[in-house]
Chain A
Amino acid sequence: MNAQVEPAQAAAASPAGLMVDVRGVRKVYHRDAQEITVLDGMDLQVPAGEFVALMGPSGSGKTTLLNLIAGIDRPTSGQVVVAGTDVARLSESELARWRSRHVGFIFQFYNLIPVLRAVENVELPLLLTSLSKRERRERALTALKIVGLTDRSGHYPRQLSGGQEQRVAIARAIVGDPSVLVADEPTGDLDAKSAEDILNLMESLNRDFHKTIVMVTHDPRAASRAHVQHHLDKGVLRRD
C-alpha cells in the first residue's frame, strides 16, 4: 500500500507471528428451548500475511467462525485472539472501536449504502477517525484507485455493476488499513469474469500489501487462490 495507508500487520500480530489465534472455541445458539452447537472446541491459527480459505457445506459453521474472527459475534467459550487482542474480553463499545481499527469486512452482497456515492461509501469507516474531511477524501480515493475504480468514485451503487460494487466494498474494507480482511463469500453473487477480477484483487492485496485474509467460500476455484484451505464440517476443522 502507499505511504498514506501503510500495512499494520507487523505491529498487530502476536509475538508468535499469528494474526488469528482461535483456541478451543465453542459456539452454541439457542432456538427456543433447543440448543444448537455450531462450533465445538475449534482451533485455528492464521499467521500474519496469510491468505486462508474456509470451505464447507451450509450450516457447517464457517460464517460463524468468520464472525467470531471479525468480532461481530462472541464465542460461548474459548479464546479468539485477533491482532493480539482477545476479542471475547472486550465490551461492546471497545469491540466496535477495535473492529474499526483492525477488521475489514467484505460481504457477499456488497452491502453498500445506496444513498451514498462510491467514494462516500469508502469514506464511511473514516468518519470514526480524527482525520480531516480532505484527508478522508484523499484516502478514500486512494483506496478506490487500488481497486481500479477512480473513474467511478462519483457513482451511486445502483449505477455500478455487481463486480464494481464488490470492488467498492473492498475499497471500503481496506481504507482504514485493517490488520485482517475477512470476506464472506465475496464472489458468491458475481459472474465468473467479475469473480475472477475480485479474486485477483484479493490476491494482490495479500501479495503486494501483505494483508492477512480469511475468506469463506463454497467455490473451489476461489479457494484455490488461497495459500491454505480449511474444510469445516459439523463444527470440525480439517486442513487440506
Chain B
Amino acid sequence: MKFAPFVLKHLRRNWIRTLSTVIAMSVCIFLFCTLQTVLASINDMLASTSANRLISRNAVSLVFSLPLSYQSRISAIPGVKRVATTAWFGGSLPAKKEGKADEGADTTTDWSKFFPNMAVEAEPYFAMYPEFEIPPDQYRAFLGDLKGAVIGRKLASKYNWKIGDHFFLESFIPPYRKKDGPFEFTVQAIFDTDPVKHPNTDSNLMLFHFKYLYEATGRTLAAGTYNIEIADASQAGAVSKAIDAAFENSDAQTHTETEQAFTASFISMAGNLAFLLNSIGLAVSFTILLVTANTMSMAVRERRTEIAVLKTLGFSSLQVMGLIVTEAVLLGALGGGLGIGGSQGLMWFLTSTPGIKDMLAGIGLSELHLKPLIGALGFSVSLALGLGAGFVPALNAYRARITDMLRTV
C-alpha cells in the first residue's frame, strides 16, 4: 500500500499516454460487456422456449403465410398433440387518445408505443403454453369476448391497464387494416409468469383471438405460423420431417423446426451472431493487449535508469517487477471500470429512451441490462489484459542487471 503513491505518480507522468491507453482499454471492455449482454439476452430468450414445441412456417420466408387448411392435416400427423394457428399482428398504440381513435385517418402511429402482439387460436395455444398463468375466471371471460386481449403483467404495469380497459392498436408490419379504423381490444385477462419455473418468459406481450383478426380482415387471413405441441420431445426431428414431407408437393411448403431454432432464426441467426460477436470481442481484446503491452514496454524502457536506481537503493527484483505489474494492472482496472460504466450507460440509454426501448421489447430484448456476472467478467478481462501487457516488460526489468541498465544511460 505504501508503494501506491509511487505507482500513481508514474501513471500521471505521461498522462496523455496513460489516458489514451485507459481509453483504448475501456473501449475494449465496453465492447466486451455490451456484446456479451446482447448475447446473454438472446440466450435468455432462447432458454424460455420449450423442447416439445415446434413451429411450422412457410419454407420460403416468414413473410409468407400458410393456408388455414394445414391445421387439420398437421394435427393428423403421428406424434402431434395439438396445433395452434397464429399470426404476427405488429400493432402499435395510436398516438391519439383512444377516444378519438375512430377518426381513422387522423390518427398517427407513435412507434415508441410498440410492443409484441400476436393473434392466436386461444384454446390450443394457451394449452401448450403453461408458462402464461391466467386466472380461470379471466381466461373464461377472454374466451367469451372476441375483442378480448390477454396481456402480460409487465405490459399491464407499463400502461397501467386493468381488466376491462379498452385500447386501440394499428397494425403496420404486416399492415392489417379494418374499414372502420384501428382494432379495438378489451383487457380480459392478465397473465403472470413464475420467475422460478420460467425465469426467462417475457410478460411484455399481448395475445388476442385469431378469429377476431380473421373476421376483421374480411376472412382473407392465412396462418403466419403453426405452433405445434408434440407428445415426445425426443421425436421433434422426426415429427418436423413428417410435417414438412406432408406439404412437400404443395404450393406453400413448410419449414418446421423447434421453437428454439425458430426463435434463433427470428433474431438473426443467433448461433452465427454469437460467433460473430465473440470473434469481434476477441479481436478487439487482442489488439488492446498489443497496444497496452507496447505502452508498458515504452514506459519501462524509458525508466531503465530509475529501475537501476530502485535496485541500487535495495528494492529487490521481485519488488520492481511488482511495481511495474501493478502499474499495468491499474491501467487495466481504470479502463475496465470506464468500459463497464460506459456499457451500463448505453444499456440504460437503450432501455429508457422512448422508441428504442420499445423497439428492443418488440424483438424480445426488453431485459437488456448489464448483468453483474458480465460486469465482473469484463473487469476480470481488463485486469488480465493489464497483467498480460505488463508481464513481459516487468520480467525484463526483473532480469536486468543494475550495471547494464546504468551503462545504457
Contacts and interface: CB of A to CB of B under 8 A. Distances in A.
B155 to A, nearest CB: 58
A27 B310 CA distance: 24
Interface SS of B by simple majority: helix
Contacts of A115: 9-10, 12-13
A181 interface: no
Interface stretch (A54-62, A67-75, A138-146, A200-208): A67-75
Contacts of B318: 93
Contacts, number: 67
B311 interface: yes
A100 interface: yes
B403 A105 contact: no
A48 to B, nearest CB: 21
A210 B286 CA distance: 58
Size bin of chain A's contact surface? 20 to 34
A135 B5 CA distance: 17
Nearest to A94: B316
A113 interface: yes
Contacts of B2: 127, 133
B317 interface: yes
A236 interface: no
Interface residues of B, number: 27
B306 A111 contact: yes
Pick from B306, B308, B314, B316 the residue with the most CB of A within 10 Å.
Answer: B314
B235 interface: no
A17 interface: no
B313 A105 contact: yes
A92 B312 contact: no
Interface of A: 67, 70, 72-73, 92-93, 96-101, 103, 105, 107, 109, 111, 113-116, 120, 124-125, 127-128, 133, 172, 176
Which 10 residue pairs spanning A and B have beta carbons closest together? Answer: A100-B314, A96-B316, A115-B9, A72-B402, A99-B314, A125-B313, A111-B309, A115-B13, A93-B316, A105-B312
7 contacts: A73-B402, A97-B314, A97-B316, A105-B312, A107-B406, A113-B306, A115-B10
Interface of B: 2-3, 5-6, 9-10, 12-13, 305-306, 308-319, 401-403, 406, 409
Given A70-B312, A113-B309, 20 more contacts: A72-B312, A72-B402, A92-B316, A96-B316, A97-B316, A98-B314, A103-B312, A103-B314, A105-B312, A111-B305, A111-B308, A111-B309, A115-B12, A116-B6, A124-B310, A125-B314, A127-B3, A128-B319, A172-B313, A176-B314
